[in-house]
Amino acid sequence: MGKQHHRYRWIVFVSVLFTYLLMASQRTAPGLITDQLMRDFSVTASTIGLLTSIQFFVYTSLQIPMGILADRFGPNFFLIFGATLTGLGTILYSLGTHEFVLFFSRMLTGVGDATIWVNMVLILAQWFHKKEFVRLIGFAGMTGSLGFLLATVPFATLILLFGWRITFFSTGLLLLLCGGLLYFVLVKNTKRIIPEKPAVITEEVPREKTSIVIRRIFSSRQAWALFFCHFGVVGGYVGFISSWAVPYGIDMYEMTRSEASQLIMIGLIGALIGAPLMSWVAGWLGTIKRPYIAIQMTVLLSWFSFLIVKGHPSFWVLIVLFFIIGFGYGASALTFAAVRQTFPITESGIVSGFANTGGFLSAALLPIIFGYILDYFQAATGNVSDGYYYGFVSPVLFSVIGLMGVLLLKEKRERAQIDNG
């Protein structure tokens, strides 16, 4: 019995997605303790912004190389290695006594995090038939948002009860255990259950040199349009909630840490709804571009609303804005629907990595820019409200870039139908 017919594939599915859930949570969990780090380590807002961004910079730079390595050497080793490295980085983060240790640990976490998406997709493709895979990849995408959700009220509660060091140490230890679990599930036990060498399920086709494909993609207007689409809608949301959303709620609305994390949860609920709903809408309309334009414009108007009200909307308006911005982030799955629509399957992996690079490049840049703006206005005026007000200029500009990207996007309307599984 082959992998794709064996019931064991569901154990693989659960194990891989549980690991992804924990790894995704560590992208944004440090944002819960931004103010504590500034106080404990006597660092500035710009330093915290750089600390937040370093993981996203590492993640971004490794997306395309990771896809190439996974194709060549297989995904199992890299996923096990990534989970283990993320666990080590998280433990080191919890033990840090100097800002250098914090930076180094986040770099390790970034390298580990960079392994998860590409390798997870390849592993699921090996274990599930095409129809099953198309349905289940949506659950995989939602798991990332659930990981962000885990890093809100649940993680904030643990920090309140046990302190941030014990909470991060325990999470890192759990990730190390996940690395061991993946080794047992993907390697050791698989050899016992399916001892014969599985047949290669993909056809051997002549491939161009990777350098030629990359050169063609980097010169493609369509690829850059997808890059900018993802840059605009992902970075503002992920970059903001991973660094400044909790301090914003505390400073501007006098919330507790737990209350501020609940505010972030509103955005994450929007993200969980946005991904499947907008995929369905695009499939129903038979076009990706029109609903994506609507999403990009709505996200832009939402960020611009912060400038209109001087960075301090009413509480209920704030909830609506966070929900809309999160919804837009969830809808960014349309980027990869457009990849599948307009690029051949032999290039879709690299193009997806290129587009994903755009999203997480903006997620890396925004905390730094926001932090520098906060530092500048706090030093110049001593008013933190001014810092947040002008800080919102950055996600507005990012959203403008996203709108430009989707306007440049080309699609073949007769082939625009999306397979929703």
Query: pLDDT tens, 165-196?
Result: 899 899 999 999 999 999 998 888 777 777 65
Cα–Cα distance measured from residue 11 to residue 26, given in angstroms and rounded to the nearest whole number: 23
Q: Grade residue 417 by pLDDT with cuts at 50, 70 and 90.
A: very low
Q: Is the pLDDT of residue 34 over 90?
A: no
Alpha carbon 238 to its chain's center? 7
Q: What is the DSSP letter of 332?
A: G
Q: Is 55:31 a contact under the CB 8 Å cutoff?
A: no
For residue 254, how many other CB atoms are within 10 A of its CB?
9
Confidence of residue 413 (pLDDT cuts 50, 70, 90): low
pLDDT tens string 194-221: 765 544 444 454 556 777 777 888 888 9
Average of pLDDT values for 292-299?
94
What pLDDT shows up at residue 86? 92
Beta carbons of 278 and 291 less than 8 angstroms apart: yes
Position 202 scores a pLDDT of 47
Q: What is the torsion angle, in degrees rounded to the nearest 10, for the CA atoms of residue 313, residue 315, residue 320 and residue 324? A: 60
Query: Which residues lie closer than 8 Å to 201 by C-beta, 6 or more apart?
Result: 4, 126
Q: What is the pLDDT of residues 249-281, one digit of tens each?
A: 888 888 887 788 777 788 888 888 887 788 778
How wide is the angle at C-alpha 27 spanned by C-alphas 404 and 320, nearest 5°?
55
- Cβ contacts of 101-108, under 8 Å, gap ≥ 24: 102/37, 102/41, 102/51, 103/50, 103/51, 103/54, 106/30, 106/51, 106/52, 106/54, 106/55, 107/54, 107/55, 107/58
Got the DSSP string for 165-216?
A: HHHHHHHHHHHHHHHHHHIIIIIIHHHHHS-SPPPP-S-------HHHHHHH
Question: Residue 366: pLDDT above 90?
Answer: no
Give residue 294's pLDDT.
94
Continuous H helices in 62-204: 63-73, 75-95, 99-113, 116-127, 130-150, 153-162, 164-182, 189-193
On whether the CB atoms of residues 217 and 354 are closer than 8 A, the answer is: yes
How far, in Å, CA of 52 to CA of 28, rounded? Answer: 8
How confident is the model over 136-161, as pLDDT tens digits?
666 776 788 788 778 777 888 888 88
Length of the chain: 421
